[in-house]
Structure 1
Amino acid sequence: MRYLHQRYNMPTDQAKALLTDIGTEEMAHWEMICTMVKMLMTGATVEEIKEADMGAMYAIRDKAIYPQDSTGNPWTAAYIQSIGDPVTDLYEDMAAEQKARAVYEQLLNLTDDPLLKDALRFLREREIVHFQRFGEALRSVEEFHSAKRIF
Protein backbone atom coordinates (compact mmCIF):
# COMPACT_ATOMS: atom_id res chain seq x y z
CA MET A 1 0.00 0.00 0.00
CA ARG A 2 1.39 3.34 -1.05
CA TYR A 3 0.54 5.02 2.25
CA LEU A 4 2.35 2.43 4.37
CA HIS A 5 5.55 2.86 2.34
CA GLN A 6 5.30 6.64 2.38
CA ARG A 7 4.58 6.73 6.11
CA TYR A 8 8.17 5.75 6.85
CA ASN A 9 9.54 8.56 4.68
CA MET A 10 7.48 11.32 6.29
CA PRO A 11 9.48 13.64 8.55
CA THR A 12 6.57 14.75 10.77
CA ASP A 13 4.34 12.78 13.12
CA GLN A 14 1.32 14.63 11.73
CA ALA A 15 2.05 13.40 8.20
CA LYS A 16 2.70 9.84 9.42
CA ALA A 17 -0.59 9.75 11.32
CA LEU A 18 -2.47 11.17 8.36
CA LEU A 19 -1.11 8.51 6.00
CA THR A 20 -2.14 5.78 8.45
CA ASP A 21 -5.67 7.21 8.72
CA ILE A 22 -6.17 7.65 5.00
CA GLY A 23 -4.62 4.29 4.11
CA THR A 24 -6.99 2.56 6.53
CA GLU A 25 -9.98 4.38 5.10
CA GLU A 26 -8.94 3.56 1.53
CA MET A 27 -9.02 -0.14 2.39
CA ALA A 28 -12.59 0.38 3.63
CA HIS A 29 -13.41 2.08 0.31
CA TRP A 30 -12.26 -1.03 -1.54
CA GLU A 31 -14.57 -3.10 0.64
CA MET A 32 -17.48 -0.76 -0.08
CA ILE A 33 -16.88 -0.86 -3.82
CA CYS A 34 -16.58 -4.65 -3.82
CA THR A 35 -19.84 -4.87 -1.85
CA MET A 36 -21.57 -2.59 -4.37
CA VAL A 37 -20.34 -4.68 -7.30
CA LYS A 38 -21.39 -7.90 -5.56
CA MET A 39 -24.85 -6.49 -4.88
CA LEU A 40 -25.20 -5.35 -8.49
CA MET A 41 -24.14 -8.78 -9.76
CA THR A 42 -26.44 -10.74 -7.43
CA GLY A 43 -29.33 -12.08 -9.44
CA ALA A 44 -27.86 -11.03 -12.78
CA THR A 45 -28.55 -13.55 -15.50
CA VAL A 46 -25.94 -14.71 -17.97
CA GLU A 47 -27.82 -12.77 -20.68
CA GLU A 48 -27.67 -9.55 -18.62
CA ILE A 49 -23.96 -10.13 -18.03
CA LYS A 50 -23.40 -10.55 -21.78
CA GLU A 51 -25.47 -7.42 -22.53
CA ALA A 52 -23.25 -5.48 -20.10
CA ASP A 53 -20.21 -6.66 -22.10
CA MET A 54 -18.94 -8.61 -19.10
CA GLY A 55 -19.01 -12.07 -20.69
CA ALA A 56 -15.24 -12.49 -20.66
CA MET A 57 -15.09 -11.52 -16.99
CA TYR A 58 -17.90 -13.96 -16.17
CA ALA A 59 -16.16 -16.77 -18.08
CA ILE A 60 -13.04 -16.41 -15.95
CA ARG A 61 -14.38 -15.24 -12.59
CA ASP A 62 -18.12 -16.08 -12.54
CA LYS A 63 -19.55 -13.35 -10.26
CA ALA A 64 -16.50 -13.12 -8.00
CA ILE A 65 -15.09 -9.75 -7.07
CA TYR A 66 -11.79 -9.04 -8.81
CA PRO A 67 -10.18 -5.58 -8.49
CA GLN A 68 -9.61 -4.22 -11.97
CA ASP A 69 -10.21 -1.08 -13.97
CA SER A 70 -13.08 -0.65 -16.38
CA THR A 71 -11.04 -2.03 -19.28
CA GLY A 72 -10.15 -5.23 -17.42
CA ASN A 73 -6.64 -4.39 -16.26
CA PRO A 74 -6.15 -6.02 -12.85
CA TRP A 75 -5.04 -3.98 -9.89
CA THR A 76 -1.30 -4.12 -9.51
CA ALA A 77 1.33 -2.61 -7.25
CA ALA A 78 2.54 -0.76 -10.37
CA TYR A 79 -0.30 1.71 -9.66
CA ILE A 80 1.57 2.85 -6.56
CA GLN A 81 3.38 6.07 -7.27
CA SER A 82 6.03 6.72 -4.64
CA ILE A 83 9.64 7.79 -5.05
CA GLY A 84 10.52 8.39 -1.42
CA ASP A 85 10.52 12.18 -1.50
CA PRO A 86 7.77 13.32 0.92
CA VAL A 87 6.82 16.47 -1.00
CA THR A 88 6.66 14.71 -4.36
CA ASP A 89 4.75 11.77 -2.89
CA LEU A 90 2.18 14.03 -1.23
CA TYR A 91 1.58 15.88 -4.51
CA GLU A 92 1.10 12.49 -6.17
CA ASP A 93 -1.37 11.52 -3.46
CA MET A 94 -3.30 14.75 -4.00
CA ALA A 95 -3.46 14.07 -7.74
CA ALA A 96 -4.66 10.50 -7.11
CA GLU A 97 -7.46 11.79 -4.88
CA GLN A 98 -8.59 14.24 -7.56
CA LYS A 99 -8.58 11.45 -10.15
CA ALA A 100 -10.64 9.24 -7.83
CA ARG A 101 -13.11 12.08 -7.25
CA ALA A 102 -13.53 12.50 -11.00
CA VAL A 103 -14.13 8.75 -11.43
CA TYR A 104 -16.87 8.80 -8.78
CA GLU A 105 -18.51 11.75 -10.54
CA GLN A 106 -18.45 9.82 -13.82
CA LEU A 107 -19.84 6.71 -12.13
CA LEU A 108 -22.70 8.80 -10.76
CA ASN A 109 -23.62 9.62 -14.36
CA LEU A 110 -23.84 5.90 -15.20
CA THR A 111 -26.52 4.91 -12.69
CA ASP A 112 -30.00 5.90 -11.65
CA ASP A 113 -30.03 3.66 -8.56
CA PRO A 114 -30.56 5.99 -5.56
CA LEU A 115 -28.76 3.76 -3.04
CA LEU A 116 -25.77 3.32 -5.33
CA LYS A 117 -25.70 7.09 -5.96
CA ASP A 118 -25.67 7.73 -2.19
CA ALA A 119 -22.70 5.39 -1.71
CA LEU A 120 -20.83 6.91 -4.66
CA ARG A 121 -21.46 10.44 -3.36
CA PHE A 122 -20.12 9.43 0.04
CA LEU A 123 -16.95 8.01 -1.54
CA ARG A 124 -16.55 11.11 -3.74
CA GLU A 125 -16.79 13.37 -0.68
CA ARG A 126 -14.18 11.31 1.17
CA GLU A 127 -11.77 11.77 -1.76
CA ILE A 128 -12.23 15.53 -1.40
CA VAL A 129 -11.47 15.27 2.33
CA HIS A 130 -8.40 13.15 1.61
CA PHE A 131 -7.17 15.75 -0.89
CA GLN A 132 -7.52 18.43 1.78
CA ARG A 133 -5.81 16.30 4.42
CA PHE A 134 -2.89 15.57 2.10
CA GLY A 135 -2.62 19.33 1.64
CA GLU A 136 -2.36 19.70 5.43
CA ALA A 137 0.39 17.09 5.50
CA LEU A 138 2.20 18.84 2.66
CA ARG A 139 2.17 22.12 4.60
CA SER A 140 3.46 20.28 7.68
CA VAL A 141 6.35 18.74 5.71
CA GLU A 142 7.19 22.01 3.96
CA GLU A 143 7.23 23.86 7.31
CA PHE A 144 9.48 21.15 8.72
CA HIS A 145 11.90 21.52 5.80
CA SER A 146 11.84 25.33 6.06
CA ALA A 147 12.65 25.17 9.77
CA LYS A 148 15.67 22.93 9.09
CA ARG A 149 17.33 25.40 6.72
CA ILE A 150 20.36 27.21 8.01
CA PHE A 151 20.70 30.76 6.75
Structure 2
Amino acid sequence: MFRHQKELQFEVKVDRPDPMLARQIQEVLGGQFGEMTVMMQYLFQGFNCRGEEKYKDMLMDIGTEEIGHVEMLCSLISQLLDGASPEDQAEAAKDPTLAAIMGGINPQHLIVSGTGALPTNSVGTPWNSGYIVASGNLLADMRANLHAESQGRLQVTRLYHMTKDEGVRATFRKMIARDRYHQYQWMAAIEELEQKNGVVVPSSFPHEAEEESQVEAYRFWNLSEGTASAEGQWATGSAQDGSGDFEYVAEPTARGNIPYHKKPSDSLHHDLNNNKVKSSF
Protein backbone atom coordinates (compact mmCIF):
# COMPACT_ATOMS: atom_id res chain seq x y z
CA MET A 1 0.00 0.00 0.00
CA PHE A 2 1.24 3.48 -0.83
CA ARG A 3 0.02 6.58 0.95
CA HIS A 4 0.58 10.11 -0.35
CA GLN A 5 1.64 12.84 2.07
CA LYS A 6 1.08 16.42 0.94
CA GLU A 7 4.37 17.78 2.28
CA LEU A 8 7.39 17.29 0.04
CA GLN A 9 10.53 15.57 1.35
CA PHE A 10 12.44 18.86 0.96
CA GLU A 11 11.31 22.42 0.26
CA VAL A 12 10.89 23.41 -3.38
CA LYS A 13 10.78 27.15 -3.93
CA VAL A 14 12.19 29.06 -6.90
CA ASP A 15 13.30 32.71 -6.92
CA ARG A 16 11.73 33.50 -10.29
CA PRO A 17 10.12 31.75 -13.28
CA ASP A 18 12.54 30.40 -15.90
CA PRO A 19 10.95 28.36 -18.75
CA MET A 20 14.35 27.49 -20.23
CA LEU A 21 15.54 25.97 -16.96
CA ALA A 22 12.23 24.09 -16.69
CA ARG A 23 13.01 22.51 -20.03
CA GLN A 24 16.52 21.56 -18.93
CA ILE A 25 15.28 20.00 -15.68
CA GLN A 26 13.06 17.67 -17.71
CA GLU A 27 16.24 15.65 -18.36
CA VAL A 28 16.69 14.70 -14.70
CA LEU A 29 12.98 13.97 -14.44
CA GLY A 30 12.17 11.88 -17.52
CA GLY A 31 15.56 11.20 -19.09
CA GLN A 32 17.45 7.91 -19.20
CA PHE A 33 19.04 8.55 -15.79
CA GLY A 34 16.29 10.75 -14.38
CA GLU A 35 14.22 10.29 -11.24
CA MET A 36 11.46 8.45 -13.10
CA THR A 37 13.99 5.81 -14.13
CA VAL A 38 15.45 5.16 -10.70
CA MET A 39 11.95 5.24 -9.17
CA MET A 40 10.70 2.51 -11.50
CA GLN A 41 13.97 0.57 -11.38
CA TYR A 42 14.07 0.30 -7.60
CA LEU A 43 10.35 -0.40 -7.27
CA PHE A 44 10.38 -3.20 -9.85
CA GLN A 45 13.48 -4.69 -8.29
CA GLY A 46 11.69 -4.54 -4.93
CA PHE A 47 8.38 -5.91 -6.26
CA ASN A 48 10.21 -8.87 -7.79
CA CYS A 49 12.74 -9.44 -4.99
CA ARG A 50 12.89 -12.97 -3.61
CA GLY A 51 15.01 -14.17 -0.72
CA GLU A 52 16.46 -12.04 2.05
CA GLU A 53 13.86 -9.59 3.30
CA LYS A 54 16.37 -6.81 4.06
CA TYR A 55 17.12 -6.30 0.35
CA LYS A 56 13.46 -6.08 -0.57
CA ASP A 57 12.77 -3.70 2.29
CA MET A 58 15.71 -1.51 1.32
CA LEU A 59 14.64 -1.42 -2.34
CA MET A 60 11.09 -0.46 -1.42
CA ASP A 61 12.38 2.27 0.94
CA ILE A 62 14.52 3.86 -1.74
CA GLY A 63 11.98 3.34 -4.53
CA THR A 64 9.32 5.08 -2.49
CA GLU A 65 11.68 7.96 -1.74
CA GLU A 66 12.21 8.35 -5.48
CA ILE A 67 8.46 8.75 -5.98
CA GLY A 68 8.81 11.80 -3.74
CA HIS A 69 11.74 13.06 -5.82
CA VAL A 70 9.63 12.82 -8.97
CA GLU A 71 6.98 14.97 -7.27
CA MET A 72 9.63 17.46 -6.14
CA LEU A 73 10.90 17.90 -9.70
CA CYS A 74 7.35 18.23 -11.04
CA SER A 75 6.75 21.00 -8.51
CA LEU A 76 10.05 22.65 -9.43
CA ILE A 77 9.23 22.62 -13.15
CA SER A 78 5.71 23.93 -12.54
CA GLN A 79 7.03 26.84 -10.47
CA LEU A 80 9.58 27.69 -13.14
CA LEU A 81 6.73 27.80 -15.67
CA ASP A 82 4.50 30.08 -13.60
CA GLY A 83 3.14 32.85 -15.80
CA ALA A 84 4.36 31.34 -19.06
CA SER A 85 1.90 31.71 -21.94
CA PRO A 86 1.94 32.05 -25.73
CA GLU A 87 1.17 35.76 -25.29
CA ASP A 88 4.17 36.15 -22.99
CA GLN A 89 6.38 34.54 -25.61
CA ALA A 90 5.17 36.96 -28.26
CA GLU A 91 5.73 39.94 -25.97
CA ALA A 92 9.13 38.66 -24.88
CA ALA A 93 10.26 38.49 -28.49
CA LYS A 94 10.34 42.32 -28.47
CA ASP A 95 13.09 42.29 -25.86
CA PRO A 96 16.27 40.41 -26.90
CA THR A 97 17.11 39.49 -23.31
CA LEU A 98 13.67 38.10 -22.52
CA ALA A 99 13.46 36.47 -25.93
CA ALA A 100 16.58 34.47 -25.15
CA ILE A 101 14.82 33.05 -22.08
CA MET A 102 11.28 32.60 -23.37
CA GLY A 103 12.55 31.45 -26.76
CA GLY A 104 13.95 28.36 -25.10
CA ILE A 105 10.62 27.24 -23.67
CA ASN A 106 9.51 23.72 -24.47
CA PRO A 107 6.35 24.21 -26.60
CA GLN A 108 4.86 21.08 -25.04
CA HIS A 109 4.91 22.80 -21.66
CA LEU A 110 2.28 25.12 -23.14
CA ILE A 111 0.49 22.85 -25.61
CA VAL A 112 0.45 19.47 -23.88
CA SER A 113 0.84 19.94 -20.13
CA GLY A 114 -0.48 23.48 -19.62
CA THR A 115 2.68 24.68 -17.82
CA GLY A 116 3.19 21.44 -15.95
CA ALA A 117 5.96 18.84 -15.94
CA LEU A 118 6.03 16.08 -18.55
CA PRO A 119 7.20 12.44 -18.43
CA THR A 120 9.84 13.26 -21.05
CA ASN A 121 13.48 14.25 -21.27
CA SER A 122 14.78 17.73 -22.12
CA VAL A 123 14.25 17.31 -25.87
CA GLY A 124 10.74 15.87 -25.57
CA THR A 125 11.50 12.16 -25.91
CA PRO A 126 8.95 10.21 -23.80
CA TRP A 127 10.23 8.27 -20.83
CA ASN A 128 10.93 4.65 -21.78
CA SER A 129 10.58 1.61 -19.54
CA GLY A 130 13.54 0.15 -21.43
CA TYR A 131 15.72 2.46 -19.31
CA ILE A 132 15.24 0.34 -16.19
CA VAL A 133 17.11 -2.79 -15.05
CA ALA A 134 15.37 -5.40 -12.90
CA SER A 135 17.05 -8.71 -13.67
CA GLY A 136 16.32 -10.73 -10.55
CA ASN A 137 20.07 -11.00 -9.83
CA LEU A 138 20.79 -8.85 -6.79
CA LEU A 139 24.45 -8.09 -7.51
CA ALA A 140 23.80 -7.25 -11.16
CA ASP A 141 20.90 -5.00 -10.15
CA MET A 142 22.82 -3.22 -7.38
CA ARG A 143 25.63 -2.46 -9.82
CA ALA A 144 23.08 -1.05 -12.26
CA ASN A 145 21.69 1.07 -9.41
CA LEU A 146 25.14 2.47 -8.61
CA HIS A 147 25.57 3.37 -12.26
CA ALA A 148 22.16 5.04 -12.40
CA GLU A 149 22.84 7.12 -9.29
CA SER A 150 26.29 8.08 -10.58
CA GLN A 151 24.88 9.34 -13.88
CA GLY A 152 21.90 11.01 -12.20
CA ARG A 153 24.05 12.89 -9.70
CA LEU A 154 26.41 13.93 -12.48
CA GLN A 155 23.55 15.45 -14.46
CA VAL A 156 22.07 17.33 -11.48
CA THR A 157 25.48 18.79 -10.61
CA ARG A 158 25.80 20.01 -14.19
CA LEU A 159 22.37 21.62 -13.96
CA TYR A 160 23.41 23.22 -10.67
CA HIS A 161 25.97 25.31 -12.54
CA MET A 162 23.47 26.25 -15.24
CA THR A 163 21.38 28.43 -12.91
CA LYS A 164 21.96 31.21 -10.39
CA ASP A 165 18.49 30.75 -8.86
CA GLU A 166 19.29 30.10 -5.19
CA GLY A 167 15.90 28.47 -4.59
CA VAL A 168 16.50 25.95 -7.36
CA ARG A 169 20.06 25.41 -6.20
CA ALA A 170 18.86 24.70 -2.65
CA THR A 171 16.60 21.93 -4.00
CA PHE A 172 19.43 20.59 -6.16
CA ARG A 173 21.79 20.50 -3.17
CA LYS A 174 19.39 18.26 -1.27
CA MET A 175 19.05 15.95 -4.27
CA ILE A 176 22.81 15.90 -4.86
CA ALA A 177 23.40 14.98 -1.22
CA ARG A 178 20.77 12.22 -1.35
CA ASP A 179 22.31 10.87 -4.57
CA ARG A 180 25.67 10.73 -2.77
CA TYR A 181 24.09 8.69 0.01
CA HIS A 182 22.43 6.41 -2.53
CA GLN A 183 25.82 5.71 -4.07
CA TYR A 184 27.16 4.80 -0.63
CA GLN A 185 24.12 2.59 -0.13
CA TRP A 186 24.57 0.63 -3.35
CA MET A 187 28.32 0.30 -2.77
CA ALA A 188 27.63 -1.16 0.67
CA ALA A 189 25.13 -3.64 -0.76
CA ILE A 190 27.51 -4.57 -3.59
CA GLU A 191 30.38 -5.17 -1.14
CA GLU A 192 28.17 -7.35 1.03
CA LEU A 193 26.94 -9.42 -1.91
CA GLU A 194 30.45 -9.79 -3.34
CA GLN A 195 31.76 -11.06 -0.01
CA LYS A 196 28.90 -13.52 0.14
CA ASN A 197 28.85 -14.84 -3.41
CA GLY A 198 31.93 -13.56 -5.27
CA VAL A 199 32.55 -10.64 -7.59
CA VAL A 200 31.48 -12.20 -10.90
CA VAL A 201 27.86 -12.25 -12.07
CA PRO A 202 26.31 -14.77 -12.01
CA SER A 203 28.21 -16.52 -9.25
CA SER A 204 26.07 -19.62 -9.77
CA PHE A 205 27.94 -20.41 -13.02
CA PRO A 206 31.31 -21.70 -11.72
CA HIS A 207 34.66 -21.05 -13.40
CA GLU A 208 35.07 -24.79 -13.96
CA ALA A 209 32.01 -24.82 -16.20
CA GLU A 210 33.94 -22.64 -18.67
CA GLU A 211 36.17 -25.71 -19.25
CA GLU A 212 38.82 -25.09 -21.93
CA SER A 213 37.82 -21.42 -22.19
CA GLN A 214 38.93 -20.52 -18.65
CA VAL A 215 42.20 -19.03 -19.87
CA GLU A 216 40.21 -16.39 -21.79
CA ALA A 217 38.94 -15.02 -18.47
CA TYR A 218 42.36 -13.44 -17.83
CA ARG A 219 43.53 -12.18 -21.23
CA PHE A 220 43.46 -8.55 -22.35
CA TRP A 221 43.42 -8.35 -26.15
CA ASN A 222 45.16 -5.28 -27.58
CA LEU A 223 42.83 -4.43 -30.48
CA SER A 224 43.55 -0.74 -31.03
CA GLU A 225 46.61 1.30 -32.03
CA GLY A 226 49.16 1.82 -29.29
CA THR A 227 49.93 -0.12 -26.14
CA ALA A 228 48.91 2.35 -23.41
CA SER A 229 46.21 -0.06 -22.24
CA ALA A 230 48.99 -2.39 -21.03
CA GLU A 231 49.65 0.00 -18.14
CA GLY A 232 46.38 -0.78 -16.33
CA GLN A 233 45.80 -3.31 -13.59
CA TRP A 234 43.33 -5.02 -15.90
CA ALA A 235 46.31 -6.10 -18.04
CA THR A 236 49.01 -6.95 -15.50
CA GLY A 237 47.31 -7.46 -12.14
CA SER A 238 45.37 -10.30 -10.61
CA ALA A 239 41.66 -11.06 -10.92
CA GLN A 240 39.60 -9.50 -8.16
CA ASP A 241 38.59 -12.90 -6.83
CA GLY A 242 42.20 -14.13 -6.75
CA SER A 243 41.49 -16.92 -9.21
CA GLY A 244 44.23 -15.98 -11.70
CA ASP A 245 46.55 -13.34 -13.15
CA PHE A 246 45.84 -11.14 -16.15
CA GLU A 247 47.84 -11.48 -19.36
CA TYR A 248 48.38 -8.72 -21.94
CA VAL A 249 48.15 -10.07 -25.49
CA ALA A 250 50.01 -7.47 -27.54
CA GLU A 251 49.33 -8.97 -30.97
CA PRO A 252 46.21 -11.13 -30.79
CA THR A 253 45.31 -13.32 -33.75
CA ALA A 254 41.94 -14.63 -34.85
CA ARG A 255 41.35 -18.19 -33.67
CA GLY A 256 37.99 -18.90 -35.24
CA ASN A 257 36.73 -20.06 -38.59
CA ILE A 258 35.52 -18.00 -41.53
CA PRO A 259 31.72 -18.06 -41.30
CA TYR A 260 29.76 -19.44 -44.23
CA HIS A 261 26.03 -19.03 -44.55
CA LYS A 262 23.76 -20.72 -47.04
CA LYS A 263 21.76 -18.59 -49.41
CA PRO A 264 18.19 -17.98 -48.29
CA SER A 265 15.16 -18.96 -50.30
CA ASP A 266 14.75 -17.21 -53.66
CA SER A 267 11.30 -16.13 -52.52
CA LEU A 268 13.02 -13.63 -50.20
CA HIS A 269 14.36 -11.75 -53.28
CA HIS A 270 17.92 -11.47 -52.01
CA ASP A 271 19.45 -10.80 -55.47
CA LEU A 272 22.30 -13.24 -54.80
CA ASN A 273 21.84 -15.36 -57.97
CA ASN A 274 22.69 -12.56 -60.40
CA ASN A 275 19.88 -13.77 -62.59
CA LYS A 276 17.84 -10.99 -64.07
CA VAL A 277 14.16 -11.86 -64.27
CA LYS A 278 12.75 -11.34 -67.75
CA SER A 279 9.76 -9.07 -67.92
CA SER A 280 6.57 -10.49 -69.42
CA PHE A 281 5.45 -7.04 -70.54
After TM superposition, the score normalised by the length of structure 2 is: 0.48
Aligned residues: 148
Q: Give the deviation of 1:125 after TM superposition.
A: 1.0
Report SS of the residue matched to 1:140: helix
**Residues 81-116 of structure 1: CA deviation (Å, up to 9, x unaligned):** 222211111100000000110111111111110010
Q: Which residue of 1 aligns with 2:277?
A: none
Q: 2:54 aligns with which of 8, 11, 14?
A: 14
Following superposition, the deviation at residue 145 of structure 1 comes to: 2.7
Secondary structure at the counterpart of residue 61 of structure 1: coil
Instruction: State the secondary structure of the residue aligned to 1:112.
Output: coil
Gaps of 5+ in 2: 1-39, 93-100, 199-203, 205-281
- State the AA in 2 paired with 1:39: Q
Task: Tell whether 2:3 aligns with 1:3.
Answer: no
2:138 & 2:55 partners in 1: Cα distance?
A: 9
The 1-side partners of 2:129 and 2:196 are apart by: 30
For residues 98 and 57 of structure 1, what CA distance do their matches in structure 2 show?
Answer: 28
Could you say which residue in structure 1 is the equivalent of 2:258?
A: none
1:104 to 147, 150, 156: 156
Match for residue 137 of structure 1?
189
Which structure is richer in relative contact order (CA contacts within 8 A, separation 6 or more)?
A: 1
Checking the alignment, whether the CA contact within 8 Å between 1:6 and 1:19 is kept in structure 2 is yes
Larger deviation, residues 22-31 vs 68-77: 68-77
> Does the Cα contact within 8 Å between 1:6 and 1:84 map onto a contact in 2?
yes
Gaps of 5+ in 1: none
Bigger shift: 37-46 or 91-100?
A: 37-46
Question: Quick check: 1:90–1:138 contact (8 Å CA) kept in 2?
Answer: yes
Shift of 1:80: 0.9
Please give the TM-score of this superposition, normalised by the length of structure 1.
0.85
Pick aligned residue for 2:103 from 40, 51, 58: 51
Larger radius of gyration: 2
Correspondence for 1:70 among 116, 119, 122: 122
Greater CA drift, 136-145 or 126-135: 136-145
Q: Percent identity?
A: 27
Alignment RMSD = 2.2
Counterpart secondary structure, 1:52: coil
Which residue among 106, 131, 134 is the counterpart of 1:79? 131
* Amino acid across the alignment from 2:175: L
Q: What amino acid does structure 2 have at the position aligned with 1:42?
A: D
Report the alpha carbon displacement of residue 121 of structure 1 after superposing the two structures with TM: 1.0
Query: Cα offset for 1:56?
Result: 4.4
More helix by share: 1
> Does the C-alpha gap of structure 1 residues 4 and 59 become closer, same or farther in structure 2, counting only changes over 3 Å?
closer
Contact 2:76 2:168 in 1 (8 A): yes
